Chain A
Amino acid sequence: MKNTTMIQSQIARFILAGAAAAMLFSCAPATDKSTDTTQIALPIDTVLNLYCSNVGINIDGCVLFDPENPYANADVNDVSKWTLHTAAPSAKARFYLWATALARSPTGENQYFTAQALHELFTINADVAIKDHALLAYRSVLDNFFGSVTYIAATWVGPDVYYAEPLADKVGASMYNPTPLGLGLLYANNTLALDALSTWGYVYNVTTGTITKIQ
């Protein structure tokens, strides 16, 4: 018993001494292994690697861990996102921006503009995977944020005047007739787009430009 106790005590003293030494060494100037992130190059290419199967879809936050996401650690919030959107040099950059905003704050607006960035990217690179992902994102706006709106500046009325535009309707428009928006077709024809919406449980009124849920 005594020998065991002595051995235990000796081991404990050794470990404590080691811990003290480790701390003292840690206080000494160590080799700097940090990365300077004062400036990060934004992507200007059109090849997007989807980091996970639901990147940029609803609450999936995997985009925050995507090493190619320049906005992962940036100060993206409800105010700064607009400035950063305007300054983003490419659709790919805009995708990362809005997906980051979505991961941090799951709102219909963030989801819609993520979808729009994917749609924009597909328009440029015709990547089917991107097209499918854009459709996932659009559907997420309808399924998860159906009643959400975005605010459009009513510049013809005056400064700081905004009107609300239902995001579901914008999804319908983007899917049914994206051409006026400068975006490519997601379906061979707009009937297929209506069918897809119907399959999801929604009806797009082509006359009024509004979407309703099938009860």
Chain B
Amino acid sequence: MKKIISQFVNKILGNPMVKKPMQGLATLVVSSFLLAFSAQAMDRVEAVQDAKGWKLQVNGSDYYIKGVVWGYSPKGENYNYNLYARSDEFIKQVLDQEFGLMKAAGVNTIRMFGIMPPRWVTYVYETYGIRTVINHLFGRYGFNVNGQWIPNTNYADPATRQAIKNDILNLVETYKNTKGVLMFALGNENNYGLDWASFEIENLPVGERHREKAKSLYSLFNETIKEAKAIDKSHPYTIVNGDIQYLDLIRALCPDLDILGSNVYRGESFTGLWADVKKSYDLPIVFMEFGSDAFNAKLNREDQQAQAELLRAMWLEMYDKSYGNGAEGNSIGGFVFEWRDEWWKYKQTENLDVQDNTASWANGGYKFDFVEGKNNMNEEWYGISRIGNIDSNGVYITEPRMAYDVLSKIWSIDPYRVSKSSYTQTIQNIDMEFLALRSEVRSLQSGGQQNAAFAMTGGSISGEMVLTGDKANIDKDGLNGIGFSTGEMVNLDFAFQPFNELKGQFTINVLGNVPQRNITVAAYGDRALPVVITNNQSITGNTTLNGNERVEIYDYEVNYENLDYSLSAFYHVPRYHWGYKGDFFGLLHEATDLEGMDIWNAKAPYGVEYTGKRQTPGLTVLFGPEVYWGANPKAMVKYDFGGSDYTLLHAQDIGRLGASSSATVATEKRLSQTTLYMKKELLGTTVELGGMTSSREKMGDTYDYLDGTNIKQDEIRIEDTLAFKAKLSRNVGDASNAYLGMTMAGLVADGGNPLVELGTKLPYSSLGNKQEVEGGVLFNYGTFTVFPRFLVRKNLLDANPTVASSVTGTNLNPGISPRNREDDPFAVLGNREANSAEIVFTYDPTPATSFYQWDNDKREDADLAFNVGLNYTQYPTVTDSHLFYYQQGQVNAAFGSGLAAEDVWLASSHMVMNPNTDLRIVANVEAGFDQSTGKPGGATRQFYSADAKAMINRKHIHAFYFKKDAWGPYDFHRQFDITYPMQVMYDYSLLLDSLGDEQLSSKWGIRGLYRTLDANAPDEFQNGANSSMFEITTYFKANF
């Protein structure tokens, strides 16, 4: 531009007689003119029509849309992943890979579910010639209206309408001059999501309610488009409709629509769609989504050829229906769904690093794998390319499928320039067999390990050096009192798939040396520490065993799946609860804390699960030696029926765990439980009811209790095994929710783990012997929520006090003592009488990344999100005696008496901060006043703790904690009421690769632990001889 101006100026005004100032002024005038001209010379995109049909033109040139729906979702991520939060260098690496491949195939446009920042839209266009459709979702999945997040958008609400419209007008303003924009699109199948409720429409017949809602939707579309055109007339406007539903309303209410955009999944032909549109509302049609998955649900394997064949047929028809081919002439192109597989589509927040084969809906138009009554649309397999492995830059490689090759040939044709007979011949003559073979070879070469019968898939090597010391030894021996040891560990990962239906993985762990620690009293690998066998009878004395358990299978998982059922065997892999699948009483505990289990070398969960499909739908059978941590060997049978509104569940212990699942947690007696659950929507209220019978094995067992001053003895009867539970929940206003729950459980009607949601600290208990009421209201104000809750619980029978036995004449006064779960059929423990209230305030400006999702620390994308909670609980009565596992005797032992009546409280806050793309901080602060979980007699503790972790540049991780007067880090510390005046930890680790993932990256680090001691840790304190201890570890881990 500068050169043009100066050349122009020199030519016209090159007269040496013109003074320099005049030349400068001329330059200014010409520059302004040329700049104004260049602003007006932004793209002009329009749909034009004549007798032969419709065309899209960009700056007067014909433009047939050869598009793909694109987004970048790496393995392990879902819709919350934000590529543009990464560094420019990384973004460019991703875009270069993706758009380079697209350009080679002939793609000219993309459509996205997210919004690409303007500079990257321009980058992609200028570098690869690919244009972008700017697609605002129009509140399809909820919208923020005046600061409040509304999950079900109400298009009739004036405030909502204004909010959406304003947002879009701002978007248009932002992108109107962005080079590379093709058009603006609004929504995504909004006509399928008209779920809001309002008084105005509730009186209409059901069929009419949706139509009324649709009128609100389409009128808003047009209102928005009309006002947007006042800002930008250079780009056309379309909507993204679900098929051509409500075409009559679109015609009536959207007169300003330029193009009809729709998502269509009718199979290999779009049937009468073209004619229907031409007849009803003669507009050009662009398919915003269409295509086929690449998984054959009938054969249960990938089927690239079927996908490619379908796409070939679809594009041939689209070309036939384009301008000048003698048909309707209203096809202007489309966006294949989709560019690459997304591994989050099934379940969306679970199993993100596994490509799920489950088909989630049925479509008879896809005949290659359609079976009447069965689903055949596999959402995680729609890509014309696959997600491959990760490269050294941290970018997941895109691996084209056969469809990519076929479409490359189709997109090399310009349907506006080539005759119908010519392109038909070209497309029909595509050598599908050759491309099928080519795709097989490509699969073997690059993704071979995914399909191999057996392969090593990776692993890790780690090592550490540990220094330990305490004041007593250092005072005594000086530096010789400091201990030094090393450790080495190798993990080897393997995967196998001998045939399509069977696949699995396992990991072998190999230990070298095992370090000796003092503060970290238990860690994974300690199984190989020397074992000393004491032998009083032996002349040679004790025996030390070394080298034991150096090699073990760390985990394995095997899945077999066919059309009738799926069967999985699992060993020490994460498993989830059934709390949202009809297990109202929480019988199946979640087993995802593998790190916690590894400390004790626990191998749970361990078992086999059968899930019925065709012949036994709704049936699930689970059995195994330890199906969750601490479980007795058991079998569980679950049957969902009545359209999944009902669930019958039976759990039967078939043995008793032989030893504690950790060091000191007591084992439980065998028992069985049967539950029945129902869930219904009644008058806008969700009603959940459940009944249970539990521990029938204890019927006839005797127990004693104090009744006034008399000691009474009774036995467990049938009514003591019954429990009933109810929960009512109801939306309040647009986004708030209220609930009320009640539980009545007999003396031995023990259930499982209640659902703990949204950061609650209410004192739930799985045990029976209670009448309990709880409730709360979640006030949702969009970016923040306030959740007050309460729980009130009474016992049917209180804990026993201690009354000493005595003799009067020849009569024994037997006295009474606290019960325990080993010697008595029940005991009052965590189910003690309680009056608890709490309030939790949560601030999360990006509610799409739920603050209470289990992996929120990794996924939260807000600059700042945090919660603050306060819980106050009165325990007006004492408990019976807790148990602990006595390792040497391999038996449960009772503490002998219970915890005192006490009022406790906890104040806590959890924070996640992303101040910029290079820094992420997660922090917790807690202060509280609480009791031990076992040992009686100790003081109730006032404690404080703070911890934080910061990740900088996805390379440096700093973590620390500080605790004052708090229990030690293991469960047994609180069980035995062991506290420390001060505990401090600092850890620095350097990630050595570009993955930027604390778990997956190779790393080097150093960690220091320090604690001071007092009489509350008698074994370590040694009556004052030892006042502090430390542990310093340097470590490295190489993942491969």
Instruction: Collect the chain B residues with CB atoms within 8 Å of residue A34's CB.
Output: 707, 712-714
B691, B719, B809, B811: the one contacting A26 at CB < 8 Å is: B719
Whether A19 contacts B678 by the Cβ 8 Å rule is no
Q: Mark A86-98, 1 if CB is under 8 A from B, else 0.
A: 0111000000000
Whether B805 contacts A84 by the Cβ 8 Å rule is yes
Q: Kindly specify which of B11-19, B106-114, B157-165, B642-650 makes contact with the partner chain.
A: B642-650
A15: interface (CB < 8 Å) = yes
Instruction: Collect the chain B residues with CB atoms within 8 Å of residue A73's CB.
Output: 702, 704, 713, 814
Whether B815 contacts A41 by the Cβ 8 Å rule is no
B808: interface (CB < 8 Å) = yes
Whether A88 contacts B805 by the Cβ 8 Å rule is no
CB distance from B204 to the nearest CB of A (A): 27
Instruction: Collect the chain B residues with CB atoms within 8 Å of residue A25's CB.
Output: 719
Instruction: Collect the chain B residues with CB atoms within 8 Å of residue A42's CB.
Output: 807, 810-812
A198: interface (CB < 8 Å) = no
Instruction: Collect the chain B residues with CB atoms within 8 Å of residue A12's CB.
Output: 641-642, 646, 648, 676, 678
Whether A40 contacts B814 by the Cβ 8 Å rule is yes
Interface residues of A in 69-84 (CB under 8 A from B): 70-71, 73-76, 80, 83-84
CB distance from A91 to the nearest CB of B (A): 13
Whether B807 contacts A15 by the Cβ 8 Å rule is no
A9: interface (CB < 8 Å) = yes
A20: interface (CB < 8 Å) = yes
Whether A75 contacts B811 by the Cβ 8 Å rule is no
Q: Mark B806-830, 1 if CB is under 8 A from A, else 0.
A: 1111111111110000000000000
CB distance from B709 to the nearest CB of A (A): 8
A208: interface (CB < 8 Å) = no
Distance between Cα atoms of A30 and B796 in the complex (Å): 13
Distance between Cα atoms of A80 and B817 in the complex (Å): 12
Whether A36 contacts B805 by the Cβ 8 Å rule is no
On whether A88 and B807 interact (CB within 8 A), knowing A16-B689, A20-B724, the answer reads yes
On whether A19 and B676 interact (CB within 8 A), knowing A5-B643, A8-B641, A76-B805, the answer reads yes
CB distance from A141 to the nearest CB of B (A): 18
Among the interface residues B717, B719, B803, which one has the most CB atoms of the partner chain A within 10 A? B719
Distance between Cα atoms of A20 and B648 in the complex (Å): 16
Distance between Cα atoms of A70 and B814 in the complex (Å): 8
Whether A74 contacts B714 by the Cβ 8 Å rule is no
Distance between Cα atoms of A71 and B648 in the complex (Å): 44
Whether A71 contacts B814 by the Cβ 8 Å rule is yes
Instruction: Collect the chain A residues with CB atoms within 8 Å of residue B642's CB.
Output: 5, 8-9, 12
Whether A36 contacts B710 by the Cβ 8 Å rule is yes
Whether A87 contacts B807 by the Cβ 8 Å rule is yes
B181: interface (CB < 8 Å) = no
Whether B641 contacts A15 by the Cβ 8 Å rule is no
Whether B722 contacts A20 by the Cβ 8 Å rule is no
B834: interface (CB < 8 Å) = no
Residue of A nearest to B705 (CB): A34
Whether B812 contacts A70 by the Cβ 8 Å rule is yes
CB distance from B700 to the nearest CB of A (A): 11
Whether B814 contacts A27 by the Cβ 8 Å rule is no
B676, B712, B719, B812: the one contacting A39 at CB < 8 Å is: B812
Number of A-B contacts (CB under 8 A): 126
CB distance from B658 to the nearest CB of A (A): 17
B711: interface (CB < 8 Å) = yes
Distance between Cα atoms of A27 and B722 in the complex (Å): 11
B802: interface (CB < 8 Å) = yes
Distance between Cα atoms of A19 and B675 in the complex (Å): 10
Distance between Cα atoms of A33 and B703 in the complex (Å): 12
Whether B676 contacts A75 by the Cβ 8 Å rule is no
Distance between Cα atoms of A33 and B808 in the complex (Å): 26
Instruction: Collect the chain B residues with CB atoms within 8 Å of residue A8's CB.
Output: 641-642, 646
Instruction: Collect the chain B residues with CB atoms within 8 Å of residue A5's CB.
Output: 641-643
Whether A37 contacts B712 by the Cβ 8 Å rule is yes
Whether B814 contacts A75 by the Cβ 8 Å rule is yes
Interface residues of A in 1-50 (CB under 8 A from B): 5, 8-9, 12-13, 15-16, 18-20, 22-23, 25-27, 30, 33-42, 44
Distance between Cα atoms of A34 and B642 in the complex (Å): 42
Instruction: Collect the chain A residues with CB atoms within 8 Å of residue B802's CB.
Output: 75
Distance between Cα atoms of A19 and B584 in the complex (Å): 15
- From DSSP, what is the main secondary structure of chain B's interface residues? strand
On whether A44 and B724 interact (CB within 8 A), knowing A15-B676, A19-B691, A37-B713, the answer reads no
B297: interface (CB < 8 Å) = no
Instruction: Collect the chain B residues with CB atoms within 8 Å of residue A36's CB.
Output: 710-713
Q: Mark A79-119, 1 if CB is under 8 A from B, else 0.
A: 01001100111000000000000000000000000000000
Interface footprint category on A = 35 or more
B645, B689, B711, B746: the one contacting A38 at CB < 8 Å is: B711
CB distance from A10 to the nearest CB of B (A): 9
CB distance from A215 to the nearest CB of B (A): 10
Among the interface residues A35, A74, A83, which one has the most CB atoms of the partner chain B within 10 A? A74
Residue of B nearest to A6 (CB): B642
On whether A39 and B808 interact (CB within 8 A), knowing A9-B646, A20-B689, A74-B815, the answer reads yes
CB distance from A89 to the nearest CB of B (A): 5
Whether B722 contacts A26 by the Cβ 8 Å rule is yes
Distance between Cα atoms of A53 and B817 in the complex (Å): 29
Distance between Cα atoms of A74 and B704 in the complex (Å): 10
Distance between Cα atoms of A190 and B150 in the complex (Å): 95
On whether A13 and B807 interact (CB within 8 A), knowing A37-B704, A75-B802, the answer reads no
Whether B712 contacts A23 by the Cβ 8 Å rule is no
B804: interface (CB < 8 Å) = yes
Distance between Cα atoms of A70 and B711 in the complex (Å): 14
CB distance from A21 to the nearest CB of B (A): 9
Residue of B nearest to A4 (CB): B641
Whether B804 contacts A75 by the Cβ 8 Å rule is yes
Q: Mark A165-190, 1 if CB is under 8 A from B, else 0.
A: 00000000000000000000000000
Whether A37 contacts B814 by the Cβ 8 Å rule is yes
CB distance from A87 to the nearest CB of B (A): 3
A9, A74, A76, A89: the one contacting B810 at CB < 8 Å is: A89
B951: interface (CB < 8 Å) = no
Distance between Cα atoms of A178 and B817 in the complex (Å): 38
Whether A35 contacts B712 by the Cβ 8 Å rule is yes
Whether B744 contacts A39 by the Cβ 8 Å rule is no
Whether B722 contacts A75 by the Cβ 8 Å rule is no
CB distance from A81 to the nearest CB of B (A): 9
B466: interface (CB < 8 Å) = no
CB distance from B255 to the nearest CB of A (A): 45
Distance between Cα atoms of A39 and B814 in the complex (Å): 7
Residue of A nearest to B811 (CB): A39
CB distance from A93 to the nearest CB of B (A): 8
B311: interface (CB < 8 Å) = no
B691, B710, B711, B715: the one contacting A20 at CB < 8 Å is: B691
Distance between Cα atoms of A83 and B817 in the complex (Å): 17
Whether B713 contacts A74 by the Cβ 8 Å rule is no
Distance between Cα atoms of A76 and B814 in the complex (Å): 8
Distance between Cα atoms of A15 and B802 in the complex (Å): 41
Instruction: Collect the chain A residues with CB atoms within 8 Å of residue B710's CB.
Output: 36, 38
CB distance from B773 to the nearest CB of A (A): 13
CB distance from B827 to the nearest CB of A (A): 15
Residue of A nearest to B536 (CB): A147
Whether A74 contacts B805 by the Cβ 8 Å rule is yes
Residue of B nearest to A12 (CB): B646
On whether A75 and B805 interact (CB within 8 A), knowing A20-B691, A23-B723, A26-B722, the answer reads yes
Known: A12-B642, A70-B814, A74-B805. 10 other contacts (CB 8 A): A12-B676, A18-B691, A23-B691, A34-B707, A36-B712, A37-B704, A42-B811, A42-B812, A80-B805, A89-B809
Enumerate 27 A-B pairs (CB-CB under 8 Å) in ascending A order: A12-B642, A12-B646, A16-B678, A16-B689, A20-B689, A23-B724, A23-B744, A26-B722, A26-B744, A26-B746, A35-B712, A36-B713, A37-B712, A37-B814, A38-B709, A39-B812, A40-B814, A41-B812, A73-B702, A73-B814, A74-B814, A75-B817, A76-B805, A83-B806, A87-B806, A88-B807, A89-B809
List residues of A whose CB falls within 8 A of some B CB. 5, 8-9, 12-13, 15-16, 18-20, 22-23, 25-27, 30, 33-42, 44, 70-71, 73-76, 80, 83-84, 87-89
